[in-house]
A and B are shown apart, each in its own frame.
Chain A
């Protein structure tokens, strides 16, 4: 949640070049420093999201990811490293981010998001970035984010394709409006290049930065669909489901 973290002269020196962005400036930088963001999983996508949010100066990150680093993570999970294979992913990610920017508060949670921990995780943050490989985790985050009126950036990829949307509870379709059920054919392991997960991770991080700082146009209610095989980028308009089990009853002025 918002705290009293104030910009220091060192913060201004580190972020000077992005503070030259006219509609961002010192006010935007201050908002980033005050913000707390949950990144669900710090794999191929979430690693890059977390890296970019720390680079931009977000004050506090909560990283949720269980398990230890495997060799097969190293084509895309940029916060991990060869020497740390076998160690906790989230602890290694925290160390890497703290080396990069010790000013950032990093909370490492060695668990994936689930129905038991989702409330405690989401209530601590201003915004959620969802990078989980399982629909069950995404649905749990969506339900909680909608319930607590927290914006949710949804990033996903498969093969050379990727998608991105922003959910503003009460205003836009939620994840359940789009996909009310888990695809029966989805598998946890999927084809992936690090450059694809990294691309959509950067775009997701930029979406989070704009939402926190309050500038630019976001993908609220729109779906960015990218195909890096053909280098095609399209933005599609999404519909709310008026009968959605998750979001149809919430207050439409919130969010």
Chain B
């Protein structure tokens, strides 16, 4: 199945894409999706998204309009929109 991943701010700038639609397994959770994305984009995810195995505290995750976290066991479904939101402070 496909889900839509939306990137914001510095993560979007570093990746050079605003979104993508990876093919994932039907039992995909937030943790497995993020692991797959980190494999696709190792340099950017290591710099902006993960600090080792830990999600950086400046990254927020959303499924649809609901905030979630890396440990959320709820399975993603076809067509879910996952937002990887990086904190900004421009004034």
Q: Interface on A for B, CB 8 Å cutoff?
A: 41, 43-46, 131-135, 138, 155-159, 161, 163, 178-186, 190, 192, 197, 223, 225, 227, 229-230, 234-239
Within 8 Å by CB of A180, from B8, B57, B62, B91, lies B57
Name B5-56 residues within 8 Å CB distance of A.
8-10, 12-13, 18, 47-48, 56
- Report chain B residues within 8 Å CB of A133: 89-91
Flag whether B77 is at the interface (Cβ < 8 A): no
Contact status A156-B65, CB under 8 Å: no
The residues of B that contact A184 with a CB separation of less than 8 Å are 56, 58
Binding site for A on B (CB under 8 A): 8-10, 12-13, 18, 47-48, 56-58, 60, 62, 65-67, 83, 85-91
Q: In the assembly, what is the distance between CA of A159 and CA of B18, in Å?
A: 13
A138 to B88, CA, bound (A): 11
Interface of B is mostly: mixed
Q: Could you tell me if B91 and A236 are in contact, using CB atoms closer than 8 angstroms? A: no
Pairwise interchain contact B86-A183, C-beta atoms closer than 8 A: yes
A230/B91 in contact, CB under 8 A: no
- Judge whether B89 and A186 touch: CB under 8 Å: yes
Q: A161-B8, A181-B58 are in contact. Are A155 and B91 (CB under 8 A)?
A: yes
CB pair B67–A158 under 8 Å, yes or no, is: no
CA distance A41 to B90 in the complex (A): 11
Question: Does B13 contact A183, Cβ atoms closer than 8 Å?
Answer: no
Nearest chain A CB to B30's CB is how many angstroms away?
Answer: 14
- Whose C-beta in chain A lies nearest to the C-beta of B57? A181
A156 and B47 contact, Cβ closer than 8 Å, known pairs A178-B60, A181-B58, A183-B56? no
Bound complex: CA A185 to CA B9 (Å): 12
